[in-house]
Amino acid sequence: MDIAKRYYFLAPLFAFVLSFTLHGCLDSSTGVDNNTNQFVSRAAPGASAKVFLEDSSFASLSVEIDYMPGHQPSQDALDSLKTFLQKRLHKSDITINTPTEVQSGGGGTYSANEIRSFEEKYRNNYTDSRNNTLHAYFLITDGKYQEQNNVLGIAYYNTSMAFFGSTIEEASSGLGAPPREKVEGTVFQHEFGHILGLVGNGTPTQSDHKTAGSAHCTADECLMKSTVETTDFFANLFDGSIPDLDPQCVTDLQANGGK
C-alpha cells in the first residue's frame, strides 16, 4: 500500500476523532467535558440549558455584568431579570452582581469575534464544577452589532450574552419610545431565554412552536418571538410591559428541568 492510499483509509478515522473532540464529550446535565473534567464555558448557546434549569449540579447562579462607559444598565432591568430567573430556574440562590464599568471598545460596530475577545479581557468569573455556583456573563457594549444593525442583544456562548448599548439607546429615545429599563429588561430576559435552550435549541420542544431557521417562538405574545431582540419590536409592537414566555415555552422549560 502506498502512502496516499494509507492516508485515504485513515481519513474517516480522523474525521470521527475530530467530531468527537468538538461535540461528543460535553455532558448536557453537568456542563462538564468528560475528557478534561472541566466545566465548559465556551460551548454553543443552549448547550448547558439543563444545567441552568436544574439544581442538581449547581444550586446557585451568579451573573457577572460588565458595561462600557455610558451604558450602565438600570436597576429596574436587573431586578426584572432576577425575577424572571427565580420564576423559571430551580436555583436556591440567584445573584445579579453590581455592574462593573470596563473600557470603551471604541464605539461604532462590533463583530461577534470582537465580543468574544472583550469577554476574554474583562470576564472575571468562570464556573468551576467542584463548586456549587454556576456563572453567567453579560457584556453591555457601547456600539451596535456589525452583523445586524437592529439587533439589541446576542447569546454567543452557553454562559455568555452581549448587548448593544447604542442600539438600546436608539430604541428608547424619541417621541413615544419605551423607557430604557423596559427595553433592557426585555432583551436581557430574551437572551437568557436562549441560554435556557429556547426555542428547540438545547431544550427540546414539547409542541410545534419553533420558527423555521432560528431558535425563536411562533407565538405572537411570546418573549421568544424573533422580533423581540430587535428595534422593530420596540418601534411598532411593544405595549409597555415586558412580554412573558408563552405557555409552550414554559412547558418546554419544565420538561427540561425548569419550573
Cell of 221: 405574545
SS3 96: strand
Residue 228 is classified by DSSP as G
Asked, as a colleague might, if the bond just before 40 is cis with ω within 30 of 0, I would say no
Closest CB 221 distance from Zn ion, rounded Å: 8
CB of residue 35 vs Zn ion: minimum separation in angstroms? 31
All three cell numbers of 223, joined, read 418573549
Instruction: Name the residue nearer to Zn ion (CB basis): 47 or 222.
Output: 222
Residue closer to Zn ion by CB (options 38, 206) is 206
As measured in angstroms, the least distance from the Cβ of 184 to Zn ion is 15
To Zn ion, the closest distance from the beta carbon of 194 in angstroms equals 6
Nearer to Zn ion, 32 or 249 (CB): 249
Minimal distance, residue 226 CB to Zn ion, in Å? 6
Residue nearest to Zn ion (CB): 217
Three-state secondary structure of 22-65: HHCCECCCCCEECCCCEECCCCCCCCCHHHHHCCCCCCEEEEEE
Of 89 and 217, CB closest to Zn ion: 217
C-alpha cell at 142: 457601547
Min. distance of Cβ 164 from Zn ion in angstroms? 13
What is the pairing mode between strands 32-33 and 38-39? Answer: antiparallel
Angstrom distance (rounded) from CA 142 to CA 114 = 13
* Cβ 69 vs Cβ 100: under 8 Å: no
Interacting residues toward Zn ion by CB under 5 A? 217, 219, 222, 224, 229, 246, 249
For Zn ion, the closer CB: 83 or 251: 251
Nearer to Zn ion, 93 or 147 (CB): 147
List 140's β-bridge partners, or say none: 67, 163
Distance from C-alpha of 77 to C-alpha of 92, rounded to nearest angstrom: 21
